[in-house]
Amino acid sequence: MRIVVIGGTGFIGVNLVGFLSNRGDEVSVYHRKSASLDHLQPFDFKSVPGEMYEEDKLKQVISGCDVVYNLAACPSSLKKDEALRNAVNIVAPRLIARLTREAGARLVHVSSIAAIGAPSQGEIADETFIFNNYKDSYAFSKHLGDKEIAQEVAQGLHAVIVCPGNVVGGRAIKQEQKNKFQSIANGTMKIYPPGGVCLTDVDDLVKGMALAAQKGKVGSSYILGGHNVKFKDYFGQIAIETGSKQPWIRLPEFLLPLAGLCFEILYSFLKTDPPLNRVSGAMVSKNLYYSSKLAETELGYVIGDWKKALQKAVQGANIERKSN
């Protein structure tokens, strides 16, 4: 198959390109001119540099393809990134969806569980969940981007939306995630948030994305999640894999949003992104749990062992296990 991956130089994108290339597909990666292609070098792909607003270039790369995967995203929730966030998460999906429809191709729009909404304590959200997380600018922008896809589906676009969970894996691991793992391995991280996340193995995810392209019902959204895990167990398993001491101080729920606000104020003077903000502080205080039952039933999506996923992530971060 002829496939275009938009935003293929990031963590998920690299793993998707690897999966598709190894499967024998003809893969073109549409990416920013400044993006590094280092993680993609082991794979057979065609590099197509361009920007999200360059309609002619997008039209040219999409023309004649069978499937388009749009992974491009601006993950920031900060006010200073509002213009970029709207351009990448809302305007670009609208353009890509229209061009894909006009080309007669199939679109797999990669959204996020953030676009589903934030479940309450004791609740597990699925695709029927009514979005409620308007205070999170990133989540709201992804939610609006999904609505743009739905509008093009009404015009005849063959598209499905996939919503990954909190993704972990070995290849092309994000530096932020790598730093977290290293801090636990070094024993310098002694704290953990009180909430929990839906952990998704990137290998499971890319297989699920391919299944969505093949079997997904037009206009449907699928949560491609994994196991719902408390941060205590998440960080504790990383400690086990690296032979280090588990973080043991549980942060109070009320403290994290306040700490995020303080970080925002401090880092605004430093003119750089804070490690925590009000939104992310509130999110890691909650159990954000999701169900992938629909994807399992309709796509044949398979969820593996989350502990093995973390094992691969630790290996991908090149962290050596301590000998006791």
* CA gap 172, 5 in Å, rounded: 16
Those residues whose C-beta lies under 8 Å from the C-beta of residue 196, and which sit 6 or more positions away, are 228, 229, 230, 231, 234, 286, 287, 288, 289
Give the number of other CB atoms < 10 A from CB of residue 144.
17
Q: Can you tell me whether residue 180 is helix, strand or coil? A: helix
Confidence of residue 138 (pLDDT cuts 50, 70, 90): very high
- 287-303: average pLDDT: 98
Domain ranges of the chain: 2-170+196-229+289-304
Dihedral Cα 88, 207, 16, 287, nearest 10 deg: 50
**pLDDT of the residue at 170:** 85
Segment 227-244 shows an average pLDDT of 96
Mind listing the pLDDT tens digit for each residue in 192-216?
999 999 999 999 999 999 999 999 9
pLDDT, mean of residues 157-180: 92
| Phi, psi for 161 (deg, rounded to 5) | -115, 130
Q: State how far the Cα of 271 lies from the Cα of 162, in Å rounded to an integer.
A: 34
Just give the CATH number of 2-170+196-229+289-304.
3.40.50.720
Give the pLDDT score at 274: 78
* pLDDT at residue 324, rounded to an integer: 53
How large is the average pLDDT for residues 167-186? Answer: 89
pLDDT computed for residue 276 by the predictor: 79
Considering only CA atoms, which of 59, 125, 104 is closest in space to residue 287?
125
The pLDDT, as a whole number, for residue 222 is 98
| Helix runs in 24-174, H state only | 55-62, 82-86, 92-103, 137-153
Q: How many CB atoms lie within 10 A of CB 157?
A: 23
Whose tokens are 């491009």? That residue is: 72
Q: In the sheet where 166-168 sits, what is the strand order?
A: 166-168, 196-201, 227-230
Flag whether pLDDT at 323 surpasses 80: no
